[in-house]
Amino acid sequence: MAEEKSLNFLEEIIENDLKSGRYRSIVTRFPPEPNGYLHMGHATSICLNFGLTKKYGGYTNLRFDDTNPTTEETEFVQSIKDDVRWLGFEWKNELYASDYFEELYLFAIKLIRKGCAYVDDSDSETIAAEKGTPTQAGVNSKFRDRSVEENLQLFEDMKAGKFKDGERVLRAKIDMAHPNMLMRDPLMYRIKHAHHHRTGDKWCIYPMYDFAHGQSDSIEHITHSICTLEFVPHRELYDWFIEQLDIFPSHQYEFARRNLSYTVMSKRKLLQLVNEKHVEGWDDPRMPTISAFRRRGYTAAAIRDFCDRVGIAKRENVADLSLLEFCVREDLNKIALRRMVVFDPLKIVLTNYTNENELVSVEDNPEDTNGGFRDVPFSKELYIEQEDFIENPPKKFFRLFPGGMVRLKGAYIIKCDEVIKDDTGKIIQLNCSYIPESKSGNDTSNIKVKGTLHWVSVEHAVTAEVRLYDRLFKAEDPSNEEGNFKDYINEDSLQIISTVYGEPALKNAVAEERYQFLRKGYFTLDKDSSEEKMIFNRTVTLKDTWAREVKKV
């Protein structure tokens, strides 16, 4: 039986809230800003928010946090929805913070009426200077004590477009000497004459994050509003607005951002990689985005498993990319179809072989008890990997060498009789003999060999391109290194092998199906493939080769 996992701190809070009757059921939300593609950090937040309502009942909303008119794009909205669904989650409501603009505007008026908000004519420099410092109280703006009527009029004028960008702001009236800097009369609204992707030109005033997020939560009756640690100081303001407005008491909880080793995880940085062409796009298989993971062949189950294993923390940390790859391997080992593909061919000729049109049967997936078998054509001329033959082998080399024997996967035992070289001394062919009574599944030869090689019949081989990926950065935490994170880009993160030779079944490869190329790694068909040319991405190697290298050093 699976070990009982202890509760994380959010599960503890929720169980207590349900037990005490504070909430009858829970509602969470995933609130992406549609200004980029989702990355692994978002996947953590998605698994967390949707995972909690899956476990405790209730539901999760997908809310696009689109209060900033200048950065949002509709393209991102679609990709975000695709990614959440692909990860295996379904939201209850698809919502947009911009749909609340009218309600938020009325909330602002309510606060003005209560004497809790005022219009400030000061420019941004003055406002910043008057804010004080963490050790020094700020000073009140000279516009702070305007009458309610004047504030209402000015706010209406702001909305009506009577001012230019930056000429007025609406501020909450709290305390300019408050120990929490965010409570020193924070901005609620700013003027921005900009086109919004949903509301068009209807608004020229836009609410600030702090005056939009908590209120949107409250409107949706979100019980547990989960965000990352940098919002801890915002919580006091979150609570203040809700209390002053006397609206549904949503609560904010914070956990540590998910970082992943050997990559960066901020949309701003990922955007630089895309714009400056360090990668080919948001879904370049080397990127830490969900769309890149999908293209590369990672499975949603593996990503969910990874999020589960890492759990959530209250302190910043960097999760190990190797653990993610481990989860991917675990899943792929169970589901990937096995195929034989030779990357660097060495031709062998079976001199005593005379059968015609022989097929050998090879299992599609030995890990799958219901897995089937496929027929693979066998013939007199075959390709094996160059590296599987050494003329003067070291001790314990169990592959092929002059006079040595190996099994060809699913087929026969062969013996290397003769090495053929060209004028330059390069090995171009091996003449071998096969043992007819050694056929897999019906082996009466009594010969024991230690090595089994993958192979492809020359005559039947299909060709493809493969793309091998390595980590995108050389440093474990490029954002925390000296200098610019881009100084640590791994220039050798993509290796293309333009022609590999596969068994004929490879021709039937379909998108989203996962394959294990025997002894080579896990692969999936890339979207760049065409009728003429198949292209495969290496999803992950069979073993953690990198960890092995570290041990060697």
Q: Residue 152: which residues within 8 A CB-CB, separation 6 or more?
A: 109, 112, 113
| Catalytic machinery residues | 33, 257, 267
Between 112 and 212, name the residue whose CB sits nearer to Mg ion: 212
Q: Shortest gap between Cβ of 473 and ligand ATP (angstroms)?
A: 16
Supply angle C-alpha 347, 386, 381, rounded to 5: 15
How far is the C-alpha of 464 from the C-alpha of 340, rounded, in Å? Answer: 12
Q: Which does 407 bind (CB under 5 to 8 A by kind): Mg ion, ligand ATP, none?
A: none
Instruction: Give residue 333's identity as a one-letter amino acid code.
Output: N
Mask for 48-67, x = binds ligand ATP (CB under 6 A): -----------------x--
Q: Is 33 in the site for Mg ion (CB under 5 A)?
A: yes
Per the CB < 8 A criterion, the answer to whether 326 and 112 are in contact is: no
Task: Report how far residue 293's alpha carbon sits from residue 282's, in angstroms, rounded to the nearest whole number.
Answer: 10
| Cβ at position 228, least distance to ligand ATP in Å | 4
Under the binding rule (CB under 6 A), the answer on residue 228 touching ligand ATP is yes
CA 379 – CA 17 distance, rounded (Å): 69
Residues 6+ apart with CB under 8 A from 179: none
Interacting partner of 31 out of ligand ATP, Mg ion, none (Cβ under 5 to 8 A depending on kind): ligand ATP
| Interaction partner, residue 279 (ligand ATP, Mg ion, none; CB < 5-8 Å by kind) | none
Contacts of 335 (CB under 8 A, 6+ apart): 299, 365, 368, 514
Which residue type sits at 107?
Answer: F
- Specify the residue, 229 or 535, whose C-beta has the smaller distance to ligand ATP: 229
With CB under 6 A as the contact rule, the residue among 14, 26, 31, 525 that binds ligand ATP is 31
Residues touching ligand ATP, count (CB under 6 A): 15
Q: Going residue by residue from 256 to 295, which x/- string records binding to ligand ATP, judged by CB under 6 A?
A: -xx------xxx----------------------------
Encode 194-206: b = buried (16+ Cβ within 10 Å), e = exposed.
eebbbbeeebbbb
472 and 263 Cβ atoms separated by less than 8 Å:
yes
Task: Please pick, from the candidates 28, 44, 67, 68, the single residue that binds ligand ATP as defined by CB under 6 A.
Answer: 44
Q: Which residue number is nearest to ligand ATP in terms of Cβ?
A: 41
For Mg ion, the binding residues in 312-351 under the rule CB under 5 A are: none
CB of 48 or CB of 400, closer to ligand ATP: 48
Helical H runs in 171-208? none
Least distance from ligand ATP to the Cβ atom of residue 460, Å: 48
Contacted by 257, from Mg ion, ligand ATP, none: CB < 5 to 8 Å by type: ligand ATP
Residue 97 has, within 13 A of its CA and on its CB side, a CA count of 28
Which residues are at the interface with Mg ion (CB under 5 A)? 33
Which residues are at the interface with ligand ATP (CB under 6 A)? 31-33, 41-42, 44-45, 65, 227-228, 257-258, 265-267
